Amino acid sequence: MVKFDDFGLSAELMKGIAELGFVTPTPVQAKVIPMLIKGLRDVVALAQTGTGKTAAFGLPLLQLTDAANLVPQALVLCPTRELCLQIAKDLADYGRFAPQLKVLAVYGGSSMREQMRALHFGVHIIVATPGRMKDLLSRGATKLAGVQRVVLDEADEMLNMGFQEELESILKEVPGAARTLLFSATMPKQVASIARQYMNDPEEIIIGQRNAIAENVTHECYTVHAHDRYHAMKRIIDCLPAFYGIIFCRTRLETQEVASQLTADGYSSDALHGDMSQDQRDRVMNNFRRRNFKILVATDVAARGLDVDDLTHVMNYNLPGDPDVYTHRTGRTGRAGKAGISIALVHMRETYMLRTIEKIMNRRFEHKKVPTGKQVCEARLTAMLEKIKRYGVEETAKLGIYLPKIHQAIGEMPHEELIKRFILSEFESLLDYYKDAPDLNVSVGHGHDNSTQGRGNRFDRNGRDERGDRERSHEGARGRQTFAGGDDGSMCKLKINIGKANGISVPDLISLINRATHGPMLKLGRIRLLERFSVFEIAAGNGQKLMESIGKMKFQDIQLKCEADREAPGGVPAEGGGRHFEKRGHHAKTEGDQGKHGKYNHFRKKKHFNERGKT
């Protein structure tokens, strides 16, 4: 069996990793560390989050650094501030007994002046986010002429976030002779392109399988109406007293809403998203690591690089727009050989996405029923009784001096009655809450059969419902949006300056219109999504007011502009095209609010996100 002693690491590094409790290297460490120390070839390593990647590249970087030469000799690029800070902290921990080695984290959201000052006095290893690193290079704050090794950590996510331009700009400043190590959980075409362009005959190391999911993670699926999603989530958590995990939402707004509602309902929770300052994010993560609260509600980008031990669950409040993102989400649990559970809350129209994820991870979801109110109460009661049973003689002896008073207060109350009243004192509110709780499960054909039930929710290749013009419903997070055929009154066409290139979907556009509208009723007609803009029909009397309201809004930092469409070009109708929609009051909001957070068309336009802006 390979041990860290076999790698020829310095005595200072061995002392540091021994203090951290490292004895046996993980598979990725066993393969990567010797290869990097020898420094013969570039390396592409495909490995999941939580497999020990930081030590795999961090220990060789520290080992090969010449402490006497105070210039940047290694550069580590990663997608988010959180991951940047975590990597820098880990490197400092490994080299705690080699204080002469200087590691600096540079990232957006912190003082550039202080980072420039630290670079001026000299560092050996820079850990950076691409946006801030590019800014520092453009200001002449540092040079990369002495860099001998470059690490691209979570390269797939950096490209997903639109950092291709920054990566290429930075890599051009690195000497051609520098060794490059690329870490990625998945291997999309863009990552392969970076490898071909900036790496020299790289050796590929695959830990497990390409795009693989950790073997010790169980995948569960609950099918519910979208407007029941929050209540289903609560029931599942109520049945899991030991729940310590992350709930992933697609948007910042939804993240904050879910976290606020959980807190209002008495759950120990907090939110993590891109609208928060760095100090706020650090505070939230420190409290989460200390288990000051047990439920973290987060967006995908904000949660990148989180290094939290012993998470029991990851819950997908929404399935991600990009199936590969599911791989990253599940990597937050089941780490270091421990078991974890990934839960997906889906509605009937996400069958296709569910099957796509199953194909990518090469395993099936276990379809489960949302617990009934009775089952939730039984689970909570059982958990409490198990806790009571664990108290031993020593613990119960603490009550000895109070027993006379206890007996006096209880009097001659029958044993069974005492038990009932004791339980009721703890569970009365829970019992009342779930007394008449409805069944939240949706009867659909799960799995991969060809039952009639399953066929009722299928989609054609363009994502359109195969049921034709029959009435159907679009479930929202707070209510229900009714879609019905037919033409009611005169309609006008409006054009809005966002389209497919901006990641907009029909439900997203309806959500945007909902938020821009006030009043008891709004009638929508045909919706068409084109590449650069979208066209939709609306009852003629509402057009002017809606254009003014939408003009005050933004979508993904794009200032919206809505105007009358006098010569709408042709195009293929998107999902829902040709049907008319009716929105009643404020309860018809759809669950999305900012569009898909999957893979954007970053390689045809400027990125939407960076570490200095909104995530």
Q: Which of 435, 418, 417, 425 is nearest to 377 (CA)?
A: 435
Question: Distance between terminal CA atoms of the chain?
Answer: 43
pLDDT at residue 398 in the model: 86
Copy the structure tokens of residue 555: 């979508």
The three-state DSSP-derived secondary structure of 37-71 is HHCCCCEEEECCCCCCHHHHHHHHHHHHCCCCCCC
**CA–CA gap between residue 387 and residue 376 (Å, rounded):** 17
Neighbours of 537 (CB within 10 A): 21
The answer to whether domain 4-206 and domain 470-584 are alike in fold is no
If you average pLDDT over residues 256-273, what whole number do you get? 89
Copy the structure tokens of residue 162: 């639109």
pLDDT digits (tens, 9 = 90+) for 3-40: 888 898 999 999 998 888 887 888 888 888 998 888 77
pLDDT band at 214 (very low <50, low <70, confident <90, very high): low
pLDDT at residue 518 in the model: 61
Sign (positive/negative) of CA torsion 393, 397, 398, 402?
Answer: positive
How long, in residues, is the chain? 615
Q: Which of 369, 385, 367 is nearest to 377 (CA)?
A: 385
Amino acid residing at 414: P
pLDDT digits (tens, 9 = 90+) for 366-408: 999 999 999 999 999 998 888 888 888 888 888 888 888 888 8
CA distances from 195 to 145, 168, 171, 198 (A): 21, 11, 11, 6
**CA–CA gap between residue 281 and residue 302 (Å, rounded):** 9
pLDDT digits (tens, 9 = 90+) for 310-358: 889 999 998 887 776 787 788 777 766 678 899 999 987 777 788 888 8
DSSP-derived letter for residue 505 is -
Q: What is the dihedral of CA 343, 346, 350, 354, to 10 degrees?
A: 20
Q: Which helix (H) or strand (E) holds 270?
A: strand 269-272
Q: Are 274 and 256 in contact (CB under 8 A)?
A: no
**CA–CA gap between residue 362 and residue 197 (Å, rounded):** 30
Q: Which of 94, 330, 101 is nearest to 212 (CA)?
A: 330
CATH number for 470-584: choose from 3.30.70.330, 3.30.70.270, 2.60.40.10, 3.40.50.620.
3.30.70.330
If you average pLDDT over residues 225-244, what whole number do you get? 91
If you average pLDDT over residues 155-173, what whole number do you get? 86
Domains of the chain, by residue range, sit at 4-206, 217-370, 374-433, 470-584
pLDDT digits (tens, 9 = 90+) for 504-516: 887 778 777 877 7
Homologous superfamily (CATH) for 217-370:
P-loop containing nucleotide triphosphate hydrolases (3.40.50.300)
pLDDT digits (tens, 9 = 90+) for 448-506: 433 333 333 333 333 333 233 322 233 333 333 333 333 445 788 999 999 888 888 87
Q: Which residue has the tokens 């291709």?
A: 164
CA distances from 458 to 444, 475, 574 (A): 11, 16, 16
Sign (positive/negative) of CA torsion 63, 67, 71, 77?
Answer: positive
pLDDT band at 117 (very low <50, low <70, confident <90, very high): very high
Whole-model pTM over 0.95: no
What topology does CATH give the domain 4-206?
Answer: Rossmann fold (3.40.50)
**CA–CA gap between residue 83 and residue 314 (Å, rounded):** 19
pLDDT at residue 575 in the model: 35
Q: To the nearest whole percent, how much of the chain has pLDDT over 90? A: 29
pLDDT at residue 317 in the model: 94
pLDDT higher than threshold 60 for residue 532: yes
pLDDT digits (tens, 9 = 90+) for 411-439: 888 888 888 888 888 888 888 888 888 88
Q: Which of 107, 184, 191 is nearest to 153 (CA)?
A: 184
